[in-house]
């Protein structure tokens, strides 16, 4: 899976307007206030009209009566004409609007997809639509309070008793000193109830361009208490920014059973390639990429320790009741399966030298591995789901399905579900057969041979989801799935890619 922030990159707005709605330019005859209300009902937020500068693209400024932001799109009610003009923003406080595109057509693309059909024994409902594209969901030790992280750093708190949603951590406050665009891709609480957020930024003031990672941490918080915890950088590291769209960044963070903090760091390449790009460092992967970190939360001067290597993008991981660490891994462009791996300290999981259980490396430019380096095999999927048709097994999931969040279903869940892993699959980002967009139930089989790969049986819990990323197994026995956007099978517009999806709640019945 490519770096998530690419889905909301500058230019998506103009692309969506160019290809998404050329019929009935300016929506002549359509009630502008009605379109504005429709944008709000779809999850849009109203901005102060006098706080933004609006101009028709490459033309004159206009006066705005109302301004609605919906994902990466803006809808401006023009004061003089009463028309709604769709637009985009490339700099804070400034919106450029279209003189040719249809707001009505664009809003149709931004509608939430249909709710997925729940199979027998599963009940599903939509909880709320976050203000930003969702990345992670977690909760407090009781399961009453849920916390949802958006890509730009907003953390919203949801009270399951009252259905109240509040902005808990505001990036305009805790990231106020940053001028760079951010991708905030990790959220967790430790046993002391300190909150951690993983913040990625791109430093273009140096050559080569650097990827800066800051893990912010709060003091212990009281769940349900005051909003706006003070968050300050706890760990800061940098490494050379990658090229093209393959700079995955640092994402998932969790406290392990041993009390240590674990962090997934994605690759900066597709497959260890060099880059012919200005200010981008060659040399493939570096020590702090394509691995899982381990950090001591009690240290006054915390240091990053590489816990396991050879993981192209371990976007999600969780521990089972026996303390085994299971991690998802996204495969590269040349079609090897995405993986599920059992992670052990000091082990290497193949990237960029080995993929899945393939004997040959599909990338000819990659050098032979260092002498004496051995690789841990991925989990073997015995199906029937997650591996395409006509196969008895695969190591592990369909190519390009982009396995993401992982959650272990423990004692809070009924016997039918207990002991399995819930794995979200973001879905393919490369054109071709639609794969992923689902939530899988992955049940580990008993380990039969020492040193051999673990095996799992896989079934589908939900399909037809809109780019699912985060998964959280609450102590209440509820399972939560966070959709990143509104792109779903059959709904592939760029407008839908820039708007937040839903937080879904699943009841798994015995």
The mean per-residue pLDDT over the stretch 41-61 comes to: 90
Q: DSSP secondary-structure letter at 143?
A: S
The mean per-residue pLDDT over the stretch 71-93 comes to: 90
Q: At 3, is the pLDDT very low, low, confident or very high (cuts 50, 70, 90)?
A: very low
Question: Mean pLDDT lowest for which of 47-61, 184-198, 372-386?
Answer: 47-61
pLDDT at position 140 is 98
pLDDT at position 9 is 33
pLDDT at position 22 is 35
Decide if 414 contacts 431 (C-beta within 8 A). no
Q: At 2, is the pLDDT very low, low, confident or very high (cuts 50, 70, 90)?
A: very low
Answer whether residue 131 shows pLDDT above 50.
yes
pLDDT tens profile 186-199: 999 999 999 999 99
Query: Where in the sequence of the chain do the CATH 2.120.10.30 domains occur?
Result: 122-485+502-508
pLDDT at position 409 is 99
The CATH classification of domain 122-485+502-508, taken from the options 2.40.160.60, 3.30.360.10, 2.120.10.30, 2.60.40.10: 2.120.10.30
Q: What percent of the chain has pLDDT over 90?
A: 81
The mean per-residue pLDDT over the stretch 228-237 comes to: 98
Q: At 449, is the pLDDT very low, low, confident or very high (cuts 50, 70, 90)?
A: low
Q: DSSP secondary-structure letter at 348?
A: B
pLDDT at position 90 is 81
Answer whether residue 394 shows pLDDT above 60.
yes
More confident residue, 114 or 14: 114
Query: Nearest 5°: CA angle at 358, between 353 and 361?
Result: 40
Question: Mean pLDDT lowest for which of 51-60, 161-170, 356-365, 460-469?
Answer: 51-60
Radius of gyration, alpha carbons of the chain: 23
pLDDT at position 451 is 64
Model-wide pTM > 0.85: yes
Dig out the tokens for 482 from the structure: 């966070």
Answer whether residue 376 shows pLDDT above 90.
yes
- Tally of CB atoms within 10 A around 72: 22
Distances from the Cα of 306 to the Cαs of 292, 296, 315, in angstroms? 6, 12, 16
pLDDT tens profile 330-354: 999 999 999 999 999 999 999 999 9
Decide if 377 contacts 339 (C-beta within 8 A). no
Instruction: Find, among 404, 426, 416, 425, the residue nearest to 327 by Cα.
Output: 404
Answer whether residue 166 shows pLDDT above 70.
yes
The mean per-residue pLDDT over the stretch 12-22 comes to: 38
pLDDT at position 391 is 81
Strand runs (DSSP E) across 18-142, as ranges?
45-47, 53-56, 61-62, 64-70, 73-78, 84-91, 94-97, 122-128, 134-139
Answer whether residue 151 shows pLDDT above 70.
yes
Answer whether residue 130 shows pLDDT above 70.
yes
Q: What is the mean pLDDT of the chain?
A: 92
The mean per-residue pLDDT over the stretch 356-366 comes to: 94
pLDDT at position 5 is 38
Q: At 31, is the pLDDT very low, low, confident or very high (cuts 50, 70, 90)?
A: confident
pLDDT at position 28 is 55
pLDDT tens profile 259-310: 999 999 999 999 999 998 899 998 899 999 999 999 999 998 999 999 999 9
pLDDT at position 111 is 92
pLDDT tens profile 87-103: 988 887 899 998 777 89
Answer whether residue 383 shows pLDDT above 60.
yes
Q: Environment class of residue 90 by beta-carbon count within 10 Å: exposed (0-12), middle (13-18) or buried (19+)? A: exposed
Answer whether residue 4 shows pLDDT above 60.
no
Give alpha helix (H) positions in 194-281. none
pLDDT at position 101 is 75
């Amino acid at each position: 899976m490519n770096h998530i922030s690419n889905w909301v990159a500058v230019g998506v707005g103009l692309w969506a307007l160019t290809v998404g709605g050329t019929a009935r330019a300016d929506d002549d005859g359509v009630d502008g206030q009605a379109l504005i209300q429709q944008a709000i009902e779809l999850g849009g937020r109203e901005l102060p009209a006098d706080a933004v500068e609006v101009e028709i693209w490459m033309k004159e400024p206009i006066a705005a009566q109302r301004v609605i932001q919906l994902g990466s799109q803006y809808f401006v009610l023009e004061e003089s004409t009463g028309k709604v003009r769709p637009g985009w923003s490339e700099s804070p406080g400034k919106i450029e609007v279209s003189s040719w595109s249809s707001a009505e057509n664009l809003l149709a693309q931004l509608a939430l997809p249909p709710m997925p059909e729940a199979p027998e024994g599963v009940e599903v409902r939509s909880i709320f639509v976050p203000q930003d594209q969702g990345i992670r969901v977690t909760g407090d030790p009781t399961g009453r309070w849920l916390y949802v992280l958006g890509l730009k750093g907003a953390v919203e708190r949801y009270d399951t008793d009252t259905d109240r949603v509040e902005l808990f951590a505001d990036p305009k406050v805790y990231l106020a000193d940053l001028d760079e665009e951010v991708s905030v891709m990790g959220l967790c609480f430790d046993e002391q109830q300190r909150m951690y957020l993983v913040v990625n930024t791109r430093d273009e003031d140096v050559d080569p361009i650097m990827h800066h990672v800051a893990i912010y941490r709060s003091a212990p918080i009281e769940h349900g208490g005051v909003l706006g915890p003070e968050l300050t950088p706890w760990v800061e590291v940098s490494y050379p920014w990658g090229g093209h769209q393959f700079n995955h960044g640092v994402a998932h963070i969790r406290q392990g059973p041993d009390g240590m903090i674990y962090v997934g760091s994605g690759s900066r390449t597709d497959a260890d390639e060099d880059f012919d790009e200005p200010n981008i460092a060659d040399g493939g992967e570096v020590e702090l990429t394509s691995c899982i970190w381990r950090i001591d939360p009690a240290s006054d001067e915390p240091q990053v320790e590489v816990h396991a290597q050879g993981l192209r993008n371990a976007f999600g991981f969780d521990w089972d009741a026996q303390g085994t660490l299971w991690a998802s891994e996204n495969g590269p462009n040349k079609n090897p399966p995405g993986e599920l791996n059992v992670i052990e300290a000091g082990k290497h999981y193949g990237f960029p030298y080995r993929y899945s259980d393939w004997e040959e490396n599909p990338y000819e430019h990659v050098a032979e591995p260092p002498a004496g380096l051995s690789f841990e095999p991925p989990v073997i999927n015995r199906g029937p789901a997650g591996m395409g048709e006509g196969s008895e097994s695969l190591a592990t999931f369909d190519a390009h399905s982009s396995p993401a969040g992982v959650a272990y279903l423990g004692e809070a869940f009924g016997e039918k579900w207990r002991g399995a892993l819930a794995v979200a699959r973001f879905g393919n980002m490369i054109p071709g057969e639609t794969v992923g967009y689902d939530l899988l139930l992955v049940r580990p089989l008993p380990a039969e041979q020492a040193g051999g790969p673990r095996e799992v049986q896989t079934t589908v819990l939900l399909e037809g989801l809109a780019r699912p990323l985060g998964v959280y197994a609450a102590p209440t026995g509820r399972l939560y799935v966070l959709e990143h956007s509104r792109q779903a099978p059959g709904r592939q517009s760029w407008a839908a890619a820039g708007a937040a999806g839903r937080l879904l709640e699943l009841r798994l019945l015995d």
